[in-house]
Chain A
Amino acid sequence: MIKRLLSAIGGGVIDMFARIGLVTRSFGGLLAKSPGALRRPSLISEQIHFIGNYSLLIITVSGLFVGMVLALQGYYTLSQFGADEKLGQLVALSLLRELGPVVTALLFAGRAGTSLTAEIGLMKAGEQLTAMEMMAVNPIQRVLAPRFWAGLIAMPVLATVFSAIGVIGGYLVGVQLIGVDAGAFWSQMQGNIDVRRDILNGVLKSFVFGVAVTFTALFQGYEAQPTPEGVSRATTRTVVIASLMVLGLDFVMTALMFNK
């Protein structure tokens, strides 16, 4: 009984370290093959179009609604203290520091991440990656690395779009609908947002999320069982793992960036 328990624990620990080793090696392999991919910018721009442009609609619409809800909820609380002119600052800070990068990353994982996993998984199932290897073309360099860099570039841009549209949503609800003074809305925002502390830290967050989500999606696709069921499981894992990573990383980075 005890022997079996110890054996199960030992097996689990070995599996965990093997998994960590595999993930680390895959990430290292991806970085090692990146220079080759970066020498062919057309492959990356094609992927930016695919994973960035196609995510734009969901990011824009979500950003608008998140900004509108922020303004409604923010006004409700701020007005209780007679501080409703601070609404612009609240909306902008919430979006730039947290909601922009985090919600964009979660939406990106659901929209582009699943698409990447399914694409790579189906390429594997259809022997396309093996065919590429047999043509002396490294699939990590030709397929994975351009998508990885495209994700890294697309994510901060999408998060910026999300935040910008969110601010517009906040303005529409706060100023146009509720009647907060437009001058106060914009001037409080302008006066209390710091470029390095708020905007650049937000961009840095979204860049890190871009690495986490895109790598997770590509890794899950590349390691997927080459069957319909395997690809389906890998796609689900992408959403679950990437989302949890984004939320965990957000906590760590927020603690590091915004502690006083």
Chain B
Amino acid sequence: MSNLVEIRDLHFSYGDRPILSNLSMDFPRGKLIAVMGGSGSGKTTVLRLIGGQIRPQRGAVTVNGENVHQLDTEGLYRLRRKMGMLFQFGALFTDLTVFENVAFPLREHTDLPEELLRDLVLMRLNAVGLRNAAQLKPSEISGGMARRVALARAIALDPRLIMYDEPFAGLDPISMGVTANLIRNLNDTLGSTSILVSHDVNETFSIADYVYFLSQGKIVAAGTPEEMRRSSDPYVKQFVNAEPDGPVPFHYPGKSLAEDLGLGGKR
């Protein structure tokens, strides 16, 4: 089977508010697939559905051939041991040092001797360039460094699938470049499959193999980064070129200015 993750006819809503409708996506093994779209387009919801954090109203998500939402808690936890997730702001445990954060999944899921565990953690930290920050607390490191520590923690158990939720949000250009390179290199070195949720066009296009564009819970475009740059789709054009107006309107929908000012105008 060439796809590690498959999404079929997925429908998800919060109450009456639909978030995703009839969504189908493929995430081939070994590839770095980006899911892009504006705020509220349903990108993060896709990750949460793949991780089994929320249940869809309809449709199926399969990871490595297993339907995520038909698994019991034990089965879901077994599957999650093969997944790594990088949260938007790292989600590091603030009471633990950088070393202990990375060691956390190893301590919880393995009985490795302390010396071996130490070596493994230091190797993971070395891979993200933070071996010498091992004894610092999360409050003593920058946002970019926290993201790299979280990345080291996400890959601690050699996951087959790594999910990145807005890994570039709030980073300076240097940290952004470093993080983007790490994501690409780790994907290739570990032979894992990566799903990258982001709205940062340049960094994402520079590392992704394939891109899905989501808008209002539906795929509006999909293809390689190069195809997306050349796309004539109005939404993709507005997004890629950061245009203030287009299919995503500048004004919040509602009454026109003329109506509000009592000039009798119509929308």
Contacts and interface: CB of A to CB of B under 8 A. Distances in A.
A222 B105 CA distance: 22
A133 B73 CA distance: 11
Interface of B: 51, 53, 77-78, 80-81, 83, 85, 87-89, 91-94, 104-105, 108-109, 153
Contacts of A130: 53, 87, 91
A111 interface: no
Contacts of A134: 51, 53, 80, 83, 85
A127 B91 contact: yes
Given A127-B87, A128-B94, A136 B78 contact: yes
A123 B93 CA distance: 8
Contacts of A138: 77
Interface in A100-138: 122-123, 126-128, 130-131, 133-138
Nearest to A50: B95
A237 interface: no
B107 to A, nearest CB: 10
A83 to B, nearest CB: 53
A133 B81 CA distance: 10
B87 A131 contact: yes
22 contacts: A123-B93, A126-B89, A126-B91, A128-B92, A128-B93, A128-B94, A130-B53, A130-B87, A131-B85, A131-B87, A131-B91, A131-B93, A134-B80, A135-B108, A135-B153, A136-B77, A136-B78, A136-B80, A136-B108, A136-B109, A137-B104, A137-B105
A142 interface: yes
B80 A135 contact: yes
Given A134-B83, A136-B81, 10 more contacts: A126-B91, A127-B88, A127-B91, A130-B87, A131-B85, A135-B80, A135-B104, A136-B77, A136-B78, A137-B104
Contacts of A127: 87-89, 91
B111 to A, nearest CB: 13
Query: Chain A contact residues (Cβ within 8 angstroms of B): what range?
Result: 10 to 19
Contacts of B105: 135, 137
Contacts of A126: 89, 91, 94
Given A126-B94, A128-B94, A142-B108, A133 B53 contact: yes
Contacts of B88: 127
Contacts of B108: 135-137, 142
Contact of B91 (A128, A136, A137, A142): A128
Contacts of B77: 136, 138
Q: Which has the most chain B C-beta neighbours within 10 Å: A123, A127, A135, A138?
A: A135
Q: Which 5 A-B pairs have the closest CB atoms?
A: A131-B91, A127-B91, A136-B77, A136-B80, A134-B85
A112 to B, nearest CB: 16
Nearest to A127: B91
Nearest to A122: B94
Contacts of A136: 77-78, 80-81, 108-109
Contacts of B89: 126-127
A127 B91 CA distance: 5
B89, B91, B93 pick with most chain A CB within 10 angstroms: B91
Interface string A128-155: 1011011111100010000000000000
Of A122, A123, A126, most buried by chain B (CB within 10 Å of CB) is: A126
Contacts of A122: 94
Nearest to B107: A137
B58 to A, nearest CB: 24
A229 to B, nearest CB: 19
Contacts of A128: 91-94
A209 to B, nearest CB: 26
Contacts of A142: 108
Contacts of B83: 134
A142 B96 CA distance: 14
B265 to A, nearest CB: 38
Nearest to A143: B93
A135 B109 CA distance: 9
